[in-house]
């Protein structure tokens, strides 16, 4: 297959063609030419879109699909199609299933289910057996089978010694440990950010302290043990400051933030819409602004959708009873494109996550394997249910104004385009 991409603005800070408009010729999955103009031939497949921009393929490091066990929420097959049409050539899939991904065979199951897909799937295996936080899972065996990191999805490790031992043990094979930032004793039965809005609405609060205390503990342990620690989906200004100070000390710590925590605040809760019930909870406008600055300054390493499909039976219920989580693959680019510089966005969803999770980096250069996302950064639209490709429809960005349109991807010698 020969694919010709016409008049595309290249966004790739590592490339000599950065911010230049070029034609790109791909043959058998490899970039053969990048020139001002390449004449098409009859057997070429053309990609010719309005205001076409391209970058290295996007990588989302926090995605849940449900399968195995929760196929009614999302299957791996459909989830990967959604990811491709949302601009992602790679996703890291959480151990958010039943049973959880905590064995060599379950890691291999995920990888085999994704075989032949345009979007690459990388498993994040559970850190503890059955994600119960009691004993460490077989980390080395799972890494040998293809797991790229280890963490219990949305479940903090309360046992200090277990986290210490995990950080020490993983150093034997360069493993990356994820620690969800939440102190359960402090959070209690809270369901919303503790503050003015939770008080007005009569919702039990989760103080920012619950997140910050857990992060402080993990950073103390990391300083003692060494190793590599990744803190997923931080949500408060103080969390950002703690991680910034740890990086200044030279600790090997990285962190991510979700799109909804960068943009949406707990002001959204006044309608008691369960699509805004997330974990961590939506915080204050001040936190949102601080996190945006954290991305721009480089303290925050990764942006993620934290895509978590929840079926209607567990979302269309009373706010206090609804399951936490929002989908986010389809809306991520359009949501963030209005608050972040395009180059900052691309860096935090291409090169940085690949480096942190040990995935081979990609580049838009002659001779490189084509791994490319297609998009238009300027088209404005309203995100409606018609734009949701996921099986579950629990989006916090429903009916929000977005800026930017995703056209598709080229990956694994497959061209996937939206209609």
Active site residues: 306
Q: Give the other-Cβ count within 10 Å of 202's Cβ.
A: 8
Q: What are the angstrom distances between the C-alpha of 68 and each of 113, 120, 171, 242, 329? A: 10, 18, 30, 36, 20
Report residue 290 as tokens: 């601080």
Number of H helices and E strands in the chain, helices first, is: 13, 18
Distance CA 218, CA 180 (A): 10
Distance CA 54, CA 388 (A): 22
Distance CA 127, CA 151 (A): 5
How far out from the chain centre does Cα 298 lie? 17
Collapsed DSSP state (helix, strand, coil) of residue 219: helix
Strand 88-93 and strand 58-63: the pairing is parallel
Compute the residue count for the chain. Answer: 419
Q: CB of 216 within 8 A of CB of 160?
A: no
Determine if the peptide bond prior to 68 is cis (ω within 30°). Answer: yes
Q: CB of 303 within 8 A of CB of 186?
A: no
Q: CB of 4 within 8 A of CB of 42?
A: no
Q: CB of 178 within 8 A of CB of 233?
A: no
């Amino acid at each position: 297959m020969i694919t010709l991409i016409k008049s595309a603005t290249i966004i790739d800070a590592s490339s000599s063609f950065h911010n230049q408009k070029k034609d790109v010729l791909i043959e058998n999955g490899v970039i053969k030419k990048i020139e001002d103009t390449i004449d098409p031939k009859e057997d070429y497949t053309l990609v010719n879109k309005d205001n076409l921009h391209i970058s290295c393929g996007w990588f989302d490091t926090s995605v849940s699909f449900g399968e195995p066990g929760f196929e009614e929420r999302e299957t791996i097959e459909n989830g990967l199609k959604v990811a491709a049409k949302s601009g992602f050539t790679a996703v890291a899939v959480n151990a958010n299933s039943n049973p959880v991904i905590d064995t060599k065979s379950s890691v291999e199951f995920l990888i085999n289910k994704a075989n032949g897909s345009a979007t690459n799937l990388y498993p994040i295996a559970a850190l503890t057996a059955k994600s119960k936080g009691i004993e460490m899972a077989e980390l080395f065996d799972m890494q040998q089978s293809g797991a790229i990191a280890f963490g219990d999805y949305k479940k903090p490790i309360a046992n200090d010694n277990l986290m210490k031992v995990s950080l020490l043990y993983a150093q034997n094979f360069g493993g990356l440990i994820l620690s969800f930032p939440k102190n359960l004793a402090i959070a209690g039965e809270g369901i919303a950010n503790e503050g003015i809005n939770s008080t007005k609405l009569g919702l039990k609060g989760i103080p920012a302290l619950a997140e910050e205390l857990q992060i402080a503990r993990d950073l103390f342990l990391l300083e003692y043990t060494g190793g590599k620690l990744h803190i997923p989906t931080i949500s408060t200004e103080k969390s950002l400051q703690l991680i910034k100070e740890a990086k200044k000390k030279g600790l090997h710590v990285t962190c991510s933030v979700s799109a909804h925590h960068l943009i949406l605040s707990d002001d959204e809760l006044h309608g008691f819409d369960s699509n805004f019930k997330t974990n961590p909870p939506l915080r204050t406008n001040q936190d949102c602004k601080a996190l945006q600055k954290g991305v721009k300054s480089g303290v925050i390493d990764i942006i993620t959708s934290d895509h978590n499909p929840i079926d209607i039976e567990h979302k269309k219920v009373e706010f206090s009873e609804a399951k936490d989580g929002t989908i986010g693959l389809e809306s991520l680019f359009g949501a963030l494109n209005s608050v972040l510089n395009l180059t900052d966005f691309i860096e935090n969803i291409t090169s940085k996550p690949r480096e942190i999770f040990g995935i081979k980096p990609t580049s838009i250069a002659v001779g490189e394997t084509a791994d490319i996302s297609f998009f238009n950064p300027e088209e404005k639209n309203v995100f409606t249910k018609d734009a949701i490709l996921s099986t579950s429809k629990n989006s916090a960005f429903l009916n929000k104004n977005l800026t930017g349109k995703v056209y598709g991807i080229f990956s694994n010698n497959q061209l996937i385009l939206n209609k």
